[in-house]
Every structure is written in C-alpha cells, then in structure tokens.
Amino acid sequence: MDRKVKLEIRNISKIFGKNPQKVISLLNKGYSKHEIFEKTKQTVGLNNVSFEVYEGETFVIMGLSGSGKSTLLRCINRLIDPTAGSILLDGQDIAPMDAEALRKIRRSKLGMVFQNFALLPHRTVLENVAYGLEIQGVPKEERYAKAEVSIETVGLKGHEQSKITQLSGGMKQRVGLARALANDPDILLMDEAFSALDPLIRSEMQDELLSLEDAMQKTIIFVSHDLDEALKLGDRIALMKDGEVVQIGTPEEILTNPADSYVSKFVAGVDRSKVLTAEAVMWRPEPLVAVSSGPRVAVQLMKEHGISSIFVVEGKNRVLKGILMIDDAVQALKSKKSFEPMIREVPSVPPEMPLNEIIPLIADSEYPLPVVNENGKLKGIIVRGTVLGALAMSEDIPDPEAEAAGTEVKSTAEVESPERISGGSTLESGNASESPVSGEAEGKLKGKAPPDIEVNKDLENKETGSLDKDLEVNAC
C-alpha cells in the first residue's frame, strides 16, 4: 500500500475490573472472555485489537452492541484509557501521554461526534459550534467567524442564534458535526452518529457525510451497528465481536469473502445488489475473437463452445469492438469477406457499477453484458445467471432459518452454491427436468424471469458450454 498510515492501533486491550493486569496475563495464556469473567468477574472490553487507518479514508468499526466498538473508539482519544497497547497518531503514541499533551492532541487532531448529539443545552448553535475554539482561548470574533463557516458547511446557515431545544434531531446532529469540524481536526471520530435519527434523515445525513468527505478529505473513523450504513460509508470496515476484530476489509471483501460464519451470518441480510459491483460478479470473457482474425476462426470458436454469438476485441489490450452473431459470421464466411462490418454494438458497463444498476440493463439486453474499463478493455462478461447467482449466494450459513427469512430471490438460495444457481440459467435450454435445481427453487427462478429467457432461449442455450467452462474455473 502506498497510502499513508494516519492512525495505527497496536494490540489494544481494555479490561473493566479491579485487577486488569492479571486478566491481561490470562488473555495471553489463551483464556476466552467468558472463562475470564467466570474466573475473575472482570470484563474484557477489548482483546488485542490492531488495525491501521489510512489518511483520508473512512474506516467503519462495526459490530453489535456489546462488541466493544464504542470502547475502541473512545480508546483512540482516551476518553477510555486502554489497559495495554499503543495508539500511534502520525507515529506518535497517545497511550502514555500525560494530561497536558493529550489535551493538545484532542484540541488539534481529534474531533468527535456523539450518538445523542451531546449539545450543550444552555448555549446557542453558534456557541456550541465554537466551544472547541473557545476552550483553546481563540478570541471571540475569530472563533465565531470559524464557527459560522463550519455551520454553513453542514447547511445550517441562518440558525446560528437558535436554541438547541428548537432544533430537530437531524439539525442537532448537524450542529454536532459542525462543532467537530470547527476545530479542523485531522481525524473525525463518529460514535453511532446517525443511529438516533429516523431512517430518511439518516440516509440524507449519510449522503451529506459522503459528499463532505469528498470535499474535505478528512480521515473518519465511524462506529456503527448498522451494516447497510457501514457498507455505504466505509472505505474499509472492521467487524467486531466480543471485543475482538473478526475481519477487516473493504465492503466487497466482507460480503464476498467473509472470514468466518459469524461474519457471513452478519452479512446475510444485506442488500447485496447495492454493494456487489460488476467486477465482483463478472466471468472471464471467453471465448473471444480478435477483429483481425477471419470469419472462419469466429465460426469455429462459436461451434466449439456451442454459442450463438461472440465478443470481438482488438489488439493486445482486448479493446471491445462489439458482438458478432453466428448467422452474420456464417454469411461473412460464405461471401469470403471480413466480418468487421457485421459487428454489432452492445451496451457495456464499467467494472465499478453496482449490481442494482446492472439488473435493469441486463434485463433489457439480448446478449451478455460486457464489462469494460475506462480504456475500453474488455474485463469480463455478465449474464443473467451470474447476477442471480451473486445475489442469491449466501455462503455457508449453517442456520437454515436465516436463509428462509431472506427475500424472494434469496429463498431460491435453497440452492447452496453458485454452480447450481447458474445451472438454473441453463435449465432454459429445454431440458429443465435434468436441472439439478430443486423443484421449488426452479419454479421460483422460472417465475421470476421467464419472458426474457424465452426470447433469448437460443442464445443462452448455445452459450451454456462457455458458462460451464467458466464455472469450472470459478469453482477452483
């Protein structure tokens, strides 16, 4: 990684109890949180947590209540003193600092936004926002000027003199955000900042935080118990359970590659279509035909793979030219001409497009959807089956009820593996009875997308060969 590490948490532990050092030594001996509580009546808040936060990223700490996420956040600015470990901010360890040095760091580098807004009820909006500057001894005019800028940033201009009790929840949290921003800190610590807001306002605030983040490039550490929020906001997410970090990764990594059954259970209910991108679900584009090769090669390839159309690319960089239909290729072969004029243009999607935007496109498309990067290079292809498979993929959740509780698409996931789901897309070839999909799931699959599939029956039928081949690759 060439990104600069802003904050490094190294082996942080927090014990709540009278004799924490004893617990630390027990932890080192490998006792579990539960055993330690039975033995010593002390609670392990955090157990040996380590991670890095890069400059300018939004790092979400996520977990259920009691997982230690808020404790962890409070260890970063030492509202809670960690029992062991170090907190390196720009390489400087905060953990052993005395009160004076810590105060300096808190004033200049760390801003915090609280779950229940935590505004001072006896002060106006302006006075609340200026609080951080006030305690630093910034002269009144200067601090009010800065506070006003920050109030404008969060969209509360005109409310400077309002009383806190006059504001709605969303406005209160804007004040909380403005107060944190007024100090111009390096890192924003946000403790369940939007959890107390109602869903519409919450979503609005999330969007605004995202655009603010784009404009200001602050490092944000965001604590949340809401997975959708974590996936929406986080560049990376740390998933916590029982005071330990279970997995750290990008939203996509966590969804597609859960570290253990806890994580996969956690992500089971998520709307995957918002998170999974074209890149994550596409298959290797095979076979392809170069635009320079003759129609004979193209027809040969299609025959070999039993498909009715083929993507045409140009040059080493596999720049996508379009799609060639078997009938056109045969005609070109007969007339002994190049197939180049017969190449049809196809709509394509960029690799980072989320699935929920791809679904309408692929529903309308007769052909597989090519995934093309900004240089025009063909990165992969998406067919209807891939999308369904990705949405239905529920990994290895041991609890069948969790699956049954899913959406309609997900309930087709009684089929456990992607292979069998894609098998579902081949069942339209007419020999449905041979499909490995169970009767009920098959019915639902059919029920979901019959019209398109009827139209493209031929195409998909012939493409099956290629799909199956790719599946073998995927299955490895």
**Chain centroid offset of residue 476 CA:** 25
Using the rule CB under 8 A, give the single segment among 27-35, 132-140, 261-269, 437-445 that binds another protein.
132-140
Least separation in angstroms between CB 237 and another protein: 23
Give the contacts of 65 (CB within 8 A, at least 6 positions apart).
Answer: 225
By CB under 8 A, is residue 196 in contact with another protein?
no
In one-letter notation, the amino acid at residue 255 is: L
How far apart, in Å, do the first and last CA atoms of the chain sit? 28
User: Residue 106 or residue 202: which is nearer to another protein going by CB?
Assistant: 106
Q: How far is CA 336 from the centre of its chain?
A: 51
Q: Which stretch binds another protein (CB under 8 A): 107-115, 153-161, 197-205, 355-363?
A: 107-115
Q: Tokens 């190294």, residue?
A: 10
CA distance 385 to 347: 18
Contacting residue, 15, 44, 84, 112, with another protein by CB under 8 A: 112
* Least distance from another protein to the Cβ atom of residue 199, Å: 22
**Number of C-beta neighbours around residue 160 at 10 A:** 17
Residue 220 bridge partners (DSSP): 58, 188
Selected from 5, 34, 41, 135, the binder of another protein by CB under 8 A is 135
Among 45-53, 114-122, 411-419, 468-476, the segment contacting another protein (CB under 8 A): 114-122
136 interacts with another protein by CB under 8 A: yes
Give the Cα separation of 455 and 446 in Å (integer): 13
Query: Closest separation between CB of residue 107 and another protein, Å?
Result: 4
Q: Is 218 in the site for another protein (CB under 8 A)?
A: no
State how far the Cα of 184 lies from the Cα of 250, in Å rounded to an integer: 27
- Cα distance between residue 72 and residue 170, in whole Å: 25
Residues 62-101 that bind another protein (CB under 8 A): 74, 77, 79
Which one, 134 or 252, has the nearer CB to another protein? 134
Q: Which of residues 432-451 bind another protein (CB under 8 A)?
A: none
DSSP string, 360-428: HHHHH-SSPEEEE-TT-BEEEEE-HHHHHHHHH--TT-S-HHHHHTS-HHHHGGGS-SHHHHHHHHHGG
Residue among 7, 110, 126, 387 that touches another protein (CB under 8 A):
110
* CB neighbourhood size of 109 (10 A): 20
CA 90 vs. chain centroid, Å, equals 26
16 contributes a contact to another protein by CB under 8 A: no
| Residue 47 touches another protein, criterion: CB under 8 A | no
The residue among 65 and 375 lying less far from another protein, judged by its C-beta, is 65
DSSP SS3 for 14? strand
The least distance separating another protein from the CB of residue 144, rounded to whole angstroms, comes to 16
| Residue whose pair of structure tokens reads 């019209």 in the numeric block | 451
Distance, CA of 57 to CA of 108 (rounded, Å): 19
Stretch that binds another protein, among 12-20, 106-114, 334-342, 378-386 (CB under 8 A): 106-114
In the bound state with another protein, the residue whose beta carbon lies nearer, of 135 and 404, is 135
- 3, 39, 104, 303: which one contacts another protein (CB under 8 A)? 104
- Nearer to another protein by Cβ, of 118 and 404: the residue is 118
Interface with another protein, residue 132, by CB under 8 A: yes
Which residues sit at the interface with another protein, rule CB under 8 A? 74, 77, 79, 102-107, 110-112, 114-116, 118, 120-122, 131-132, 134-136, 179, 183, 189
